[in-house]
Chains A and B, each alone.
Chain A
Amino acid sequence: MNILVVLVPAALLLGLAGLAAFMWALRANQFDDVEGSAHRILSDDDLRFSDRHNEHK
């Protein structure tokens, strides 16, 4: 049973990591446009503006 002393806190730490990830996502406005993000992953047009920056350099 002594293994619990290690395992249970380990499980808790993993849960805390998940919570921290959620908090980060919330702060970084990841949930602002749930609908749009679902479609954005299919297009590679996010390169549009970065391309332009390279031209200017």
Chain B
Amino acid sequence: MNAGGLIRDRVDFSILTRPIAEGISEMDLAIDGIDCAACMDDIEGAMARVPGVVKARLNLTLRRLTLSWRVAEVQPEMLIGVLQSKGYGAFPFDLQRSADADRQLMQFLLKCLAVAAFASMNIMLLSVSVWSSDLGDMNSETRDFFHWLSALIALPAAAYAGQPFFRSAIAALRQRSLNMDVPISLGVILALTMSVYETAHHAEHAYFDSAMMLLLFLLSGRVLDQMMRRRTRAAAANLTALRGEMAARFEPDGTFLLVPVSALRRNDIVLVRPGEAVPADGLVIAGSSQIDDSLITGETLPHAVKVDDELYAGSINLDGVLQVRVTAGAQGSLLDHMARLIDAASEARNHYQILADRASRIYAPLVHLTALLSFTGWMMAGASVHDALIIAISVLIITCPCALALAVPAVQVVASGALFRQGIYLNSGQALERLANVDWIVFDKTGTLTRPQPGLVNKAHIAAPLLDIAARLAQSSHHPLALALVQALPAARPLDQVEEVPGAGVRGIYKGVECRLGSAAFCDWTMTNHHEIEPGASVIYVRMGDEIAPLMLHQQLRPHAAQTIAQLKEMGFKLSILSGDRMEAVAPIAQALNIADWQAGLKPEDKIKALAALQARRQHVLMVGDGLNDAPALAAANASLSPISAVKLSQAQADAVFIDASLLPVAQALRLGRLARRLMQQNLILAVVYNAIAVPLAIMGEVTPLIAALAMSGSSVLVTLNALRAQTGMSEDIVKPAGTGHAFLRSAQG
């Protein structure tokens, strides 16, 4: 958590580096603080000047730096130090295997798209010649030659580019269900087969171009969808890496080494110093301390721990030094309990059917039925089998859900892009729809409605020189309250000579006078002074010469919290607070925000029950929470949001994560969710209207390949253009305080 500490202690990043050649290692770093292209030169230039660096290449899109260096000449922590001195946050990045699979899927889809684009362009070239020669200046040999050439291109291209659809269709059929890919695959295969048959019989029309164009449009949708997912995941992974979670692990020789948290194994012994977060679940084996569990249980009052007490990852150690034996994965631990609750809770959510699935479930059988009916209809009307079959197949081609398949993903891509630019990262495309359906919002209190760190509440009552000295002393302390004080009183320069007294405070000399910041005893505070201590506040004291003042730090609302709550009420949402904290801590917050419906002292089970009660009243519930105790509730709610300061488990359950320190993203996400749903519905209607016009034509047997091509591309373009409105619709109501996102990220790093 602490940059200064990182450089002084011995650090071991070996788990995140990989040897690439004799004596040369490589690693990937997530970089924070890049705001323009010039940063690229700056970073790569700085790295190049360090002797021993072999290669430094920054990926500006993903904000990641790949570094390789000669092991004998330079250490990775030194390189990180150089970057930090230039003002960039940097932390080694654990390239996960899932990211690799993502990449491969993207490459595969792009290859399919390229093949489909190549084939459809060339076939279209041939087809246009055939269509424009309808006046009769092309003889039938030339036409056949063009058709055979088209077949030569289309058949192998469709076999390759159609793979994503064929595979998914087969998978669906194996489970005896229909998805959108079944009519797509069927349409493409039938169109190609019929065209080959027609070509062999010297017919006038072939549908190779329709089949390839269909694949091209559908693949564009898939590629966009995958691109959005990859970008969102990369950004979220960067943020996680930049938290720079390190643990001080004891080595067999008795010294300790800073290692990334992912390197910790069961039974490792770690040292947790004051102000540090507990890196992994474990048992205290030495020392005693006060622990702030607010991220785990929502309880804001610290509690004492001693030897043999259990600790959970994410708790903050306040004053003593603890030695902890890592027990992660042990049965019956809090995390296990949470995991079981989450499993049970998320089952309920899986019942929700997304719009696209509902549409395809109705649409796919309808398409097949229409094709079948037009076949039998024409047979009964006395047409030949050949003619009836051609008409049935053209019905199938024209109804192939080209626009329908683009309708939803196109909106998802544009809308999630708009959210992304405002620092809201969606975990899945479906999240938008779930957000749109919400009508009741449940907030957690600690860390969600309030800031993750307490704020100074009696600033107005303290003399300016004392306040100034407190701010400067706080810069030199690692205590969480001092860190909170630095946040509350920024832009102070630390004093030159400062000494930290463990468990008491910091002291230094300013203009020949001794100054202290710390506990009551450390500053000789007596109750004779007439300041009143606010209930529920944490107090530290500042002393300069004979002057003493208490600094009261109290939970503080997130910026724009009241404004956001007012906006949400205006939008017609019902609100409530479910907190794990004490009654006395929740009541003032509920009152300040004017939320009448609140409950305090809830266990995770109680939160789920409260949500279930709301859901039983047919309310769609959005849960906004950050703590470990919220994770099951986040999974159980119809939709969920987490701030970036949330514990990992909660973030994994949330539909979206926002990085802003203010609460405004909650309103923004909901607004965009509604807009997105409206656009999706419009798109679906557009697609249906298109079918309502085109299908009767097809049933009457009037659809030539030319009409099919025009209708198909026309409807797809229309749907895509409509989706783009999600972007303009969103830019109207951006109410974003400048720079808060970055500032918060920095503060999270310490």
Binding site for B on A (CB under 8 A): 1, 4-5, 8, 11-12, 15-16, 18-19, 22-23, 26, 31-36, 38-40, 43, 45, 48-49, 52
Given contacts A36-B40, A39-B40, contact A15 B122 (CB under 8 A): yes
Q: Which of A11, A33, A36, A49 contacts B125 (CB 8 A)?
A: A11
Kindly provide the distance from the CB of B135 to the nearest chain A CB, expressed in whole angstroms. Answer: 16
Contacts of A22 in B (CB 8 A): 114
Q: Which of A8, A16, A39 contacts B37 (CB 8 A)?
A: A39
Kindly provide the distance from the CB of A26 to the nearest chain B CB, expressed in whole angstroms. Answer: 6
Q: Is the CB of B41 within 8 A of A43?
A: yes
Is B107 part of the contact surface with A, judged by Cβ < 8 Å? yes
Task: Render B142-168 as a binary contact track against A, CB cut-off 8 A, 1 for contact.
Answer: 100110010001000000000000000
Q: Is the CB of B41 within 8 A of A45?
A: yes
Q: Is the CB of A8 within 8 A of B111?
A: no
Q: Is the CB of A19 within 8 A of B41?
A: no
Given contacts A11-B125, A48-B48, contact A26 B61 (CB under 8 A): no
Kindly provide the distance from the CB of A8 to the nearest chain B CB, expressed in whole angstroms. Answer: 6
Is B126 part of the contact surface with A, judged by Cβ < 8 Å? yes
Kindly provide the distance from the CB of B105 to the nearest chain A CB, expressed in whole angstroms. Answer: 13
Is B54 part of the contact surface with A, judged by Cβ < 8 Å? yes
Given contacts A15-B122, A45-B41, 13 further A-B pairs with CB under 8 A are A5-B145, A11-B122, A15-B118, A16-B118, A18-B118, A19-B118, A22-B114, A33-B60, A35-B37, A43-B41, A45-B48, A49-B54, A49-B56
Is B115 part of the contact surface with A, judged by Cβ < 8 Å? yes
Given contacts A4-B145, A49-B54, contact A36 B107 (CB under 8 A): no
Kindly provide the distance from the CB of A22 to the nearest chain B CB, expressed in whole angstroms. Answer: 5
Q: Is the CB of A26 within 8 A of B107?
A: yes
Is B567 part of the contact surface with A, judged by Cβ < 8 Å? no
Binding site for A on B (CB under 8 A): 37, 40-41, 44-45, 48, 54-56, 58-62, 107, 110-111, 114-115, 118, 121-122, 125-126, 139, 142, 145-146, 149, 153
Kindly provide the distance from the CB of A33 to the nearest chain B CB, expressed in whole angstroms. Answer: 4
Q: Is the CB of A15 within 8 A of B58?
A: no
Kindly provide the distance from the CB of A16 to the nearest chain B CB, expressed in whole angstroms. Answer: 7
Q: Is the CB of A26 within 8 A of B44?
A: no
Q: Is the CB of B40 within 8 A of A40?
A: yes
Q: Is the CB of B111 within 8 A of A4?
A: no
Contacts of B122 in A (CB 8 A): 11-12, 15
Contacts of B126 in A (CB 8 A): 8
Kindly provide the distance from the CB of A2 to the nearest chain B CB, expressed in whole angstroms. Answer: 10
Given contacts A23-B111, A34-B61, contact A1 B142 (CB under 8 A): yes
In the docked arrangement, what's the CA distance between A3 and B41, Å?
54
Q: Is the CB of B45 within 8 A of A45?
A: yes
Contacts of A35 in B (CB 8 A): 37, 60-61
Q: Which of B45, B60, B142 contacts A48 (CB 8 A)?
A: B45
In the docked arrangement, what's the CA distance between A23 and B118, Å?
12
Contacts of A45 in B (CB 8 A): 41, 44-45, 48
In the docked arrangement, what's the CA distance between A12 and B146, Å?
12
Q: Is the CB of B153 within 8 A of A12?
A: yes
In the docked arrangement, what's the CA distance between A31 and B109, Å?
14
Contacts of B59 in A (CB 8 A): 32-33, 36
Q: Is the CB of A36 within 8 A of B44?
A: no
In the docked arrangement, what's the CA distance between A1 and B625, Å?
72
Contacts of B44 in A (CB 8 A): 45, 48
Q: Which residue of B lies closest to A37 (CB)?
A: B60
Kindly provide the distance from the CB of B93 to the nearest chain A CB, expressed in whole angstroms. Answer: 15
In the docked arrangement, what's the CA distance between A9 and B481, Å?
76
Kindly provide the distance from the CB of B708 to the nearest chain A CB, expressed in whole angstroms. Answer: 23
